[in-house]
Amino acid sequence: MSAEHPGTGDRSAAPSLTGRSSALDLIKTVIDDTARLGGSLTLFGDPGVGKSALLDAAADLAQAGGMRTLRAAGAQFEANIAFAGLNQLLVPLFPLFSDLDPDHDSALRVALGFGEGATPSRILISTAALSVLLLAAREQPLVAIIDDAQWLDDASADVLSFVARRVAGTSVRMLSAVRTTGQPLHTRGDVNSLTIHPLDDAQSEALLFARHPDLAEHMRRRIVSEAQGNPLALVELPTTLTPDRYPTADTLPTVLPLTERLTRIFTARIAALTPQTRDLLLLLALDGSGQVLSDERVVGPDAATQLDLAERERVITVDSRHSVVFRHPLVRSAVVELARPEQRRQAHRALANCRHSDPGHRAWHLAEASFGPDEEVATLLQHESIQALKRGDPSAAVAAMTRSADLSPDPEHRSQRLAGAAYFAAEVMGDLQSVSQLLSDARQLDAGVSSLATASAAASLMLYSDADVISAFRVLTTALQAPGLEPTAEEINAAIWVLSVIASLNGRKEMWDPYLELVEKYRGKLPEGVLIRSEVVSNPALVSPQALHTLDQEIAALTTELDPGQIIRVGYVANDVDRLADLREPLLRVWQDAARTGAVAAVTNALMLLCAESYLAGRWDDTQRFAEEGLERAESYGYVNFVWFLHYSKALAAAALGQQEEAEEPLEEMLAWSIPRQAFIVPQHVYRVRTLAAIGRGDYETAYTQATKISPHGLEPGTARQLQLFVAYDLVEAAVRETNSGQPACPAGRPTRRTYCSLRRSCRSPHSRPRG
């Protein structure tokens, strides 16, 4: 179709295109001044990369400048019709043909189908086309815009290339766009060109947020990964991933579905391949590793020939390591999209048969090949979920456990597996939305909170989303004390750990005693790490040498540990006996791996522990930096229970740095938040900040008063005792200096880092390790 857009001059600028400012600047240069770039420019890039959007923006720029625009677009079905593209472009100028000299008038009429006679020479038609464009531009400068030029018929492409090389210094501009999969116009002559590259991750995130601001985080991450900077994919993929169909990260399909428009773009070359080649590509798409190529029983004896055909069609490429890679992740999606459901299941069965040495992948292929519930496959996936967590892939752990639940024929088993997935999502992933949905599904199958796995997940959700200490405590203790309960060791381990976190936040004997009783009840099923935790929280100063030796072994093992949850659990125990310095490297690893693992809760916990470690080491600027990042994460994901500690860490570092106002700023809000929730350990942390701040300004009486407020009723189990050990030097300093009236704390009015670290070493726990 032809299109003419006379300039109106009522638009001041082209629309904003994310990540395309430099391309727009170059286009504007061509439109404003033909002398600088010869008045022509060819854009080329992959399908969906934004070439058409840039041409639309160019049209807007031209119209805003009072210019006339002529447009045409190549079409596959017209590629063999001579001068079809030229017809689209020049039809709006037909009234001007009669103003040309007779030879040019006749040449255009015959070439474009308006007259009869022998076909004129290509050079005559080319000069006639240039003449009519120049004639039209006398009254109003014009821009000729040609999209999808790779599908222009050869005759039109030759004529338009001729024109593009001769418009410099005139009132005519030419802009075209071609796919890299076709033959770029610039190969036909010396025409300026610009490659449009995919967006980077930051630009992709910006475009996705602008077009789909309410998109869930798990979908956002996946789409950015799959789209690989393709703007069309970024805009269209979210429309296939509706929240009601894919409510959680683990429900997203392995290969994302495509919209009709994306399917048209990415399947054109695949559909032209032979059925044998498409079958091989389906195996590669579903396998993902390329290992299937080594098994001739699965891929067949002529796999190399089929791959050669696919590579020639630019569907795949073979890299320097001789690995087969799809040209784009969405080409992989398109291969799967074209296959029928039974073809996909058959391919998964074939892949499972060649993966006996890899039980994780084999379980997933068997799951995808299943047509209905299958307990054997569900059990394999449950095992894979645990293994995924151990190798540091919590997202895969949640996905495997959820799929295991889907395949469970027994409703009770399904409920337990859904609850297990919810616990992983709460404790490691930080995906509270997924936790809520998974728990809801589990309860529909198992009315009430009758399983310990469900109770642990529910307690985690209550604790982290709103720090509902009392409700979380009741849910867990009721489940752990239920008659006839026969939980697995893994379920008990999870429940006791969550219960210790709840009791730590409450900090009162009324919760510590039941917690310690339940530890004794289940001692035979608990791992050593959980037992050490119970001993440490009882009295960190009197932990047995045997327990400390075991803890030291667990800390040493973290150098190769991949499970972020395990690193965090050991970290909290180590913190109570002043061994965090030994965990700095593993904690930094959890923090730095955040983008890969998606373990938001574990990462935020790591930041909290890094706050504590850096503060004790005297790196107070690091403490504030870690706290600020942790606050951003906790507030973004709704982890209310983490916010208070991060504010506390930031305030404590501010007090150490002599920043009095910053130290006091969050404290009243922390107190107001903690009391209604019975999070009684929070005020004790407030007193610690105020103690240090008072010492910094030389107010030793206030410092002494605040320090003695920590656990005023005597020693109780848990964090109060740990805090007492940490604040001991502050209490002693305040008491001693208060008797020396008139003597300042130090020349600067606050303890120096050297003074702080020196005093810290002199007052640490009997089990503390010396620091470097």
Has residue 400 got a pLDDT over 70?
Answer: yes
pLDDT band at 755 (very low <50, low <70, confident <90, very high): very low
**Residue 770 — pLDDT band, cuts 50, 70, 90?**
very low
- Percentages (nearest 5) of helix, strand, coil residues in the chain: 65, 5, 30
Can you tell me the distance from the alpha carbon of 427 to that of 666, in angstroms, rounded to the nearest whole number? 26
How is residue 60 written in tokens? 């807007």
One-character DSSP codes across 66-99:
T-EEEEEE--GGGTTSTTHHHHHHHGGGGGGGGG
Cross-strand partners of 195: 44
The two tokens of residue 245 are 């169909």
Lowest-confidence pick of 4-13, 530-539, 703-712: 4-13
The closest of 71, 67, 84 to 147, measured between CA atoms, is 71
pLDDT tens figures, 315-370: 888 765 567 888 777 888 888 888 888 999 999 988 888 877 788 888 989 998 88
Residue 121's CB is within 10 A of a number of other CB atoms, namely: 10
**Least confident piece of the model among 263-267, 448-452, 483-487:** 448-452
The amino acid present at 415, given as its one-letter code, is S
Spatial distance between the Cα atoms of 243 and 238, rounded to a whole number of angstroms: 10
Distance of CA 173 to the CA centre of its chain: 42
pLDDT for the residue 762 = 43
How much is the pLDDT for 535?
85
Burial of 358 (0-12, 13-18, 19+ CB in 10 A): middle
Amino acid, res. 596: R
**Region of residue 618 (left: phi > 0; alpha: psi -120 to 50; beta: else):** left
Q: For residue 756, what are its two tokens?
A: 């702080």
Q: What is the spatial distance between Cα 310 and Cα 269, in angstroms, rounded to a whole number?
A: 9
Task: Kindly indicate the confidence band of residue 138, based on its pLDDT and cuts at 50, 70 and 90.
Answer: very high
Q: What do you get for the CA distance between the two ends of the chain, in Å?
A: 76
For residues 229-244, give the mean pLDDT: 84
Element at 43 (helix H, strand E): strand 40-45
Per-residue pLDDT band for 180 (boundaries 50, 70, 90) equals: confident
Measure the CA–CA gap between 196 and 230, rounded to whole angstroms: 10
DSSP codes, 651-663: HHHHHHTT-HHHH
From 37-41, 301-305, 512-516, 713-717, the region with the lowest mean pLDDT: 713-717
Instruction: Say if CB 468 and CB 285 are below 8 A apart.
Output: no
User: What's the average model confidence in pLDDT over 74-83?
Assistant: 82
Nearest CA-CA partner of 689 in 721, 660, 720: 660
Angle, CA 419 vertex, CA 414 and CA 425 arms, to 5°: 130
Report whether CATH 3.40.50.300 matches the domain 3-195.
yes
H helices of 96-216, in order, are 102-111, 122-139, 154-164, 201-211
- The tokens describing 449, both together, are 């909170």
Residue 229 backbone zone (phi > 0: left; psi -120 to 50: alpha; other: beta): left
Q: Do domains 410-525 and 528-762 have the same CATH topology?
A: yes
Among candidate residues 189, 211, 168, 186, the one with its CA nearest the CA of residue 53: 211
Q: How far apart are the C-alpha atoms of 716 and 508, rounded to whole Å? A: 7
Q: What is the separation of C-alpha 97 from the centre of its chain, rounded to a whole number of angstroms? A: 58
The highest-confidence range among 175-189, 584-598, 710-724, by mean pLDDT, is 584-598
* pLDDT, averaged across the chain: 82
Distance CA 305, CA 295 (A): 15
Region 116-128 average pLDDT: 91
- The contacts of residue 703 (CB under 8 Å, 6+ apart) are 690, 691, 692, 694, 695, 730, 733, 734
Q: Rounded to whole angstroms, how far apart are CA atoms 525 and 531?
A: 10
DSSP calls for 648-704:
HHHHHHHHHTT-HHHHHTTHHHHHHHHTTTT-THHHHHHHHHHHHHHHHTT-HHHHH
pLDDT score, position 617: 92
* Overall fold of domain 410-525: 1.25.40
Q: Find residue 71's DSSP bridge partners.
A: 3, 145
Count the residues in the chain: 772
Tell me, what's the pLDDT at 594?
Answer: 66
pLDDT for residue 601 is more than 90: no
pLDDT at 764 over 80: no
| Type of residue numbered 264 | R
- pLDDT tens digits for range 690-716: 999 999 998 989 988 898 888 665 545
The arrangement of strands across the sheet holding 172-179 comes to: 3-5, 68-73, 142-147, 172-179, 40-45, 193-195
May I ask the CATH class of domain 528-762?
mainly alpha
Amino acid at 695: I
* Domain chopping of the chain, boundaries: 3-195, 201-244, 410-525, 528-762
Which is nearest to 491 in space by CA: 382, 564, 363, 375?
382
Nearest to 660 by CA among 616, 693, 622, 698: 693
Banded pLDDT at 195 (limits 50, 70, 90) = very high
Structure confidence at residue 77 as a pLDDT band (50, 70, 90): confident
Q: Which of 24-28, 373-377, 440-444, 662-666 has the lowest mean pLDDT?
A: 440-444
Contact 425, 405 (CB under 8 A): no
Average pLDDT over residues 179-192: 56
561, 562, 566, 570 alpha-carbon torsion, rounded to 10°:
40
Percent of the chain with pLDDT over 70: 84
The model's confidence at residue 14, banded by pLDDT at 50, 70 and 90, is very low
Confidence of residue 536 (pLDDT cuts 50, 70, 90): confident
Instruction: Determine the angle formed by the axes of helices 359-369 and 375-390, rounding to 10 degrees.
Output: 140
d(CA 45, CA 186) in angstroms, rounded, equals 13
Angstrom distances, CA of residue 303 to CA of 293, 312, 721? 8, 14, 68
Given phi > 0 = left and psi -120 to 50 = alpha, else beta, which region is 9? left
286-290, 358-362, 683-687, range with the lowest pLDDT: 286-290
- Region 514-543 average pLDDT: 86
State residue 608's pLDDT score: 94
According to the model, what pLDDT value does residue 464 have? Answer: 75
For the stretch 238-287, pLDDT in tens is 888 876 667 666 567 777 888 888 888 788 778 888 889 899 888 888 88
Q: How far apart are CA 99 and CA 114, in angstroms?
A: 16
Q: Which two tokens stand for residue 479?
A: 């489940």
Residue 159 confidence (pLDDT): 94
Of the listed ranges 61-65, 524-528, 637-641, the least confidently predicted one is: 637-641
Return the higher-pLDDT residue of 728 and 661. 661
pLDDT confidence bin for 1, thresholds 50/70/90: very low
Residue 432: predicted pLDDT: 64
